[in-house]
Structures are given as structure tokens and as C-alpha cells.
């Protein structure tokens, strides 16, 4: 008998000996008076063994069999060694068709001395910010470096999560945290959901200029502002307001998401034979629907705050690097130490005057050029285009002995009898003029 059963027997014997009343015994054992009467009668009839549970020493009808217990332990040690207990229970049901509760998995594994890779620490008390009421009102965005593929060097996962529902709205892997990775995540958000109202991010220089923290209130009132980063410029064009988080705890939802993905993705990558970043990026979209179905919650309001994109908007002209250049000879411009020429369907266009254009540097579409609303393709040149020489028409120079012909208008004009500077051209005047011009030609 256990100590509790011995204490219970002592109180029941006192009721049999009429030392205590039934009511007092019920208060001491924290039982009802009816139960005390039942126990008293059982002890009088069957003895102290009546207080021992009847299933003691017997195996429960629905207990886990020894074969199933060994199978669970074997799968955990051989096939799913890095999965935490919760994820392991899901993998058993999904891949092995073994339907057991988490409590069963936990009991079987802990009895063999195993511990979960993700053991929950004692939570610290802090004020948790309430979720937004509508999806799309606030989207948290961040990146996490981790050894996502077992046995390989760490690389970064860029992601975004909706604050109201906990829905993962975008994931993309790159070698390092970079603007390209965030542009890929943003393109997923805009394509699949629409434009969010606010974007919640940290103080990384990808999002905000490092000099933005140095402006005083007086400078801001005087209209002094820091230039936008490439990401900030894209958000300004899309009409999305950015909010700066002052600590990791402020964007706790996406920080907790990294913990969940760091426990699950390496296991899934190993099971599916994924060994490269390209394969990981192709696999993630197939994972998101199942992941969101399991972890997402219902928002307070069903109306979505995501805004539709303009159908005429070309995202490749927004989610890219933009810099201003001036055209040189041959409709060319320099960019990153190389020369490019404007083209349409890989054919150079007609020369344009020197003007300022916007260079569009997209990781998939390459280098393009935009002037007003027109987007041009470019052709990479081997060298700077040479300036074309303009041939000037050389005027014929008169030789020293040449003179106008006899019928030249310049010679015949003097013989016109019409008034010339207020006097008539008579024969004597014409003779004088001929003599004067003859002497002039001789001098020349």
C-alpha cells in the first residue's frame, strides 16, 4: 500500500471504532460522506485490500504496446534525431501513420532518458502587445542567420509575418541579409496579399539611413531630412509606412517565428534531400499553406486591410536599385564602371540629346533604363562610345586674281538707272565708278 492509502485506512478504522464521525472523516479525507460510508463498508467486508486500486499491477486496455514503444524510440534515434517532441509527434502521424498523443510521445521518450532539443525555459513576465484587429494593418519583417541545412555554413532567411493572424506572408533565403532578400519577400507579400498599411522593421541600414538618428528636433522642424534608402524609396512609391522597432522584444512575433522555423526547417530539409539555397527557396512555398493552417489564428475583424495593387504597376520597376545617370554620346551611360547603350528589342535606338535617365538594376531583369514613363532595354558595351566628328563644310576661298564675271549682278547693279543714294546714275558717274572699281580690283 502507498502512504496515502495507509493514511486513508487509519481514518476509516477510526470510523469503524467510532472514534470519529462520518462527517469528520469526510472532512479529513476530502471526500463526500457517501464515499466514506462506501469505504467503511468495503473494509469491513474485504479488509484493507479494498482501498487498493483494482487496476494496480494490471496493464491498461489502451496502453501503448511494447512493440509500438520500441518503434517510437527507434524512429526518434535514427530518422528524426533533431526534431523536438511536438514536431516529432506530427512527423509520426504524417509520415509514419502512427497516431499517438503528445503526452504518450513525451512519456515514452523521457522514460528512456531523452530530452527535447527545444526545452521551454521559464517564461519571463512582460507586457505583451495586443494583436492588430485586421490582417494587413501591420506586417513584421526581419532576417535570421542560421545553419538551415544540416552540415552546411549558416545563411540568412528573410521573412515577414502578419501581426493580426500570425500568418507567414513571405520567406526567402540568401547568403547574407541583403536588400535583394527583402525585395523578394516584399514581392511575395504584394503578389499574394496586397499592400500592407504599416511595415514593422528594425533599425538596419537597409531600411533607414544611419544619419536619421542624428537629426535634432530643430533640424527636423527646419525641413532637414535624411535621404531615403533604396528600400525606403520603394516603400514610399508603394505608399507603405515604415515603423522602426527599438528592440527585438518589440517585434516578438517574428522573433518567435525564427525559433519555430529553426527547429522545423532543418529536419524537413534533411527529410526531403534539400542541400542548396535554390532548392530551399523552391521548397518553402509548398510548406507555407500547411504551416499557416497549423499556427495562424483568426483576427478580430474579417475585413482585410491589405490594399490592392494598381494593375498597371510593374513591380520590377519599383523593387530594384535606382540611380540617376546622364546620357553621353550614342545614347549610352556609365554604371558601376561599365557602359550601357539604350536599346529596343536588342537594337540601338536613335541618338537622343544628353538628358538625365533612371537606371533600373533588377536581380532578374538585369540593367534597364527609364526615361519618363518609357522603360528601355540596354546593351553592354565593350568600351566607351567614341564621339562622332562633325564635318564642317569648308567654304571656297577666292583666289587673288579672280573677279566677278561681266554679267554678275554686282557689276550690272551699277548700270541700273534707278536712283542710288539720292542721285541719278548718268554716263559720267558710271564711268567714274568703273574706274574706281578697276583700281580696287588691281589692289586686291
**pLDDT for 134:** 94
Higher pLDDT residue, 437 or 55? 55
Tell whether 87 is covered by a domain: yes
**pLDDT for 113:** 85
Q: Are both 12 and 107 inside the same structural domain?
A: no
Coil, strand or helix: which one is 366? strand
Q: Are both 93 and 149 inside the same structural domain?
A: no
Angle CA(173)–CA(292)–CA(258) in degrees, nearest 5?
45
Tell whether 358 is covered by a domain: yes
Q: Could you give the percent of the chain with pLDDT greater than 90?
A: 41
Domains in the chain, number: 5
Neighbours of 161 (CB within 10 A): 26
Q: Are both 35 and 80 inside the same structural domain?
A: no
**pLDDT for 401:** 56
Q: Are both 44 and 73 inside the same structural domain?
A: no
Higher pLDDT residue, 183 or 220? 183
Cell of 440: 580696287
Cα Rg of the chain, angstroms:
45
Tell whether 248 is covered by a domain: yes
Q: What is the pTM for the complete model shown?
A: 0.68
**pLDDT for 221:** 63
For residue 395, pLDDT beyond 50: no
Q: Are both 210 and 252 inside the same structural domain?
A: yes
Torsion from C-alpha of 25, 28, 29, 34, nearest 10 degrees: 30
For residue 361, pLDDT beyond 60: yes
Tell whether 58 is covered by a domain: no
Tell me the residue range of the domain where 213 lies.
Answer: 138-295
pLDDT in tens, 194-210: 999 999 999 899 998 88
Strands 338-344 and 332-335: antiparallel
Q: Are both 333 and 427 inside the same structural domain?
A: no
User: What angle, rounded to 10 degrees, do the helices at 102-111 and 85-95 form?
Assistant: 110
**pLDDT for 422:** 45
Q: Are both 231 and 343 inside the same structural domain?
A: no
Tell whether 426 is covered by a domain: yes
Asked if residue 316 lies in contact with residue 365, where contact means CB atoms within 8 angstroms, the answer is yes
Tell whether 370 is covered by a domain: yes
Strand positions, DSSP E, 275-355: 321-326, 332-335, 338-344, 347-348
Tell whether 254 is covered by a domain: yes
Tell whether 312 is covered by a domain: no
- In terms of Cα–Cα distance, which of 185, 186, 233 is closest to 209? 233
User: Ranked by mean pLDDT, which of 221-235, 277-291, 398-412 comes out on top?
Assistant: 277-291
- Picking from 381, 398, 432, the residue at the C-terminal end of a domain is 381
Q: Could you give the percent of the chain with pLDDT greater than 70?
A: 80
Q: Are both 144 and 255 inside the same structural domain?
A: yes
pLDDT in tens, 281-333: 999 999 999 999 999 999 999 999 999 998 888 999 999 999 999 988 878 88
Q: Are both 251 and 334 inside the same structural domain?
A: no
Confidence of residue 394 (pLDDT cuts 50, 70, 90): very low
Higher pLDDT residue, 424 or 43? 43
Confidence of residue 372 (pLDDT cuts 50, 70, 90): confident
Confidence of residue 1 (pLDDT cuts 50, 70, 90): confident
Amino acid at each position: 500500500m502507498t502512504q496515502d492509502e495507509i493514511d486513508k485506512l487509519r481514518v476509516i478504522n477510526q470510523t469503524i471504532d467510532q472514534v470519529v464521525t462520518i462527517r469528520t472523516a469526510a472532512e479529513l479525507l476530502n471526500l463526500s460522506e457517501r464515499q466514506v460510508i462506501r469505504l467503511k463498508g468495503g473494509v469491513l467486508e474485504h479488509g484493507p485490500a479494498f482501498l487498493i486500486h483494482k487496476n494496480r499491477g494490471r496493464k491498461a486496455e489502451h496502453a501503448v504496446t511494447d512493440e509500438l514503444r520500441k518503434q517510437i524510440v527507434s524512429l526518434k534515434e535514427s530518422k528524426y534525431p533533431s526534431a523536438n517532441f511536438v514536431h516529432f509527434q506530427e512527423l509520426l502521424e504524417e509520415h509514419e501513420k502512427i497516431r499517438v498523443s503528445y503526452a504518450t510521445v513525451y512519456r515514452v521518450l523521457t522514460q528512456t532518458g531523452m530530452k527535447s532539443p527545444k526545452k521551454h525555459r521559464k517564461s519571463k513576465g512582460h507586457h505583451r502587445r495586443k494583436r492588430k484587429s485586421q490582417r494587413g494593418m501591420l506586417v513584421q519583417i526581419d532576417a535570421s542567420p542560421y545553419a538551415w541545412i544540416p552540415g552546411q555554413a549558416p545563411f540568412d532567411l528573410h521573412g515577414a509575418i502578419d501581426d493580426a493572424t500570425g500568418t507567414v506572408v513571405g520567406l526567402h533565403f540568401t547568403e547574407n541579409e541583403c536588400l535583394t532578400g527583402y525585395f523578394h519577400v516584399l514581392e511575395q507579400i504584394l503578389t499574394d496579399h496586397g499592400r500592407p498599411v504599416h511595415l514593422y522593421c528594425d533599425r538596419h541600414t537597409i531600411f533607414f539611413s544611419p544619419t536619421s538618428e542624428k537629426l535634432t528636433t530643430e533640424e527636423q522642424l527646419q525641413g532637414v531630412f535624411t535621404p531615403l534608402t533604396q528600400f525606403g524609396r520603394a516603400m514610399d512609391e508603394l505608399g507603405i509606412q515604415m515603423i522602426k522597432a527599438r528592440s527585438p522584444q518589440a517585434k516578438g512575433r517574428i522573433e518567435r517565428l525564427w525559433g519555430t522555423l529553426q527547429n522545423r526547417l532543418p529536419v524537413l530539409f534533411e527529410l526531403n534531400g534539400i542541400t542548396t539555397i535554390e532548392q530551399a527557396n523552391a521548397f518553402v512555398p509548398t510548406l507555407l499553406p500547411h504551416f499557416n493552417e497549423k499556427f495562424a489564428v483568426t483576427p478580430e475583424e474579417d475585413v482585410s486591410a491589405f490594399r490592392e495593387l494598381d494593375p498597371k504597376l510593374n513591380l520590377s520597376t519599383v523593387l530594384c536599385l535606382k540611380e540617376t545617370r546622364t546620357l553621353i554620346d550614342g545614347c549610352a551611360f556609365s554604371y558601376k564602371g561599365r557602359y550601357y547603350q539604350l536599346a529596343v528589342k536588342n537594337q540601338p535606338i536613335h541618338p537622343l540629346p544628353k538628358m538625365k535617365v533612371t537606371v533600373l538594376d533588377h536581380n532578374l531583369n538585369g540593367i534597364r533604363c527609364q526615361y519618363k514613363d518609357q522603360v528601355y532595354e540596354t546593351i553592354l558595351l565593350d568600351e566607351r562610345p567614341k564621339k562622332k566628328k562633325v564635318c564642317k563644310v569648308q567654304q571656297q576661298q577666292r583666289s587673288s586674281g579672280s573677279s566677278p564675271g561681266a554679267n554678275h549682278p554686282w557689276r550690272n547693279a551699277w548700270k541700273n538707272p534707278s536712283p542710288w543714294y539720292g542721285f541719278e546714275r548718268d554716263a559720267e558717274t558710271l564711268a567714274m565708278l568703273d574706274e574706281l572699281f578697276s583700281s580696287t580690283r588691281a589692289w586686291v
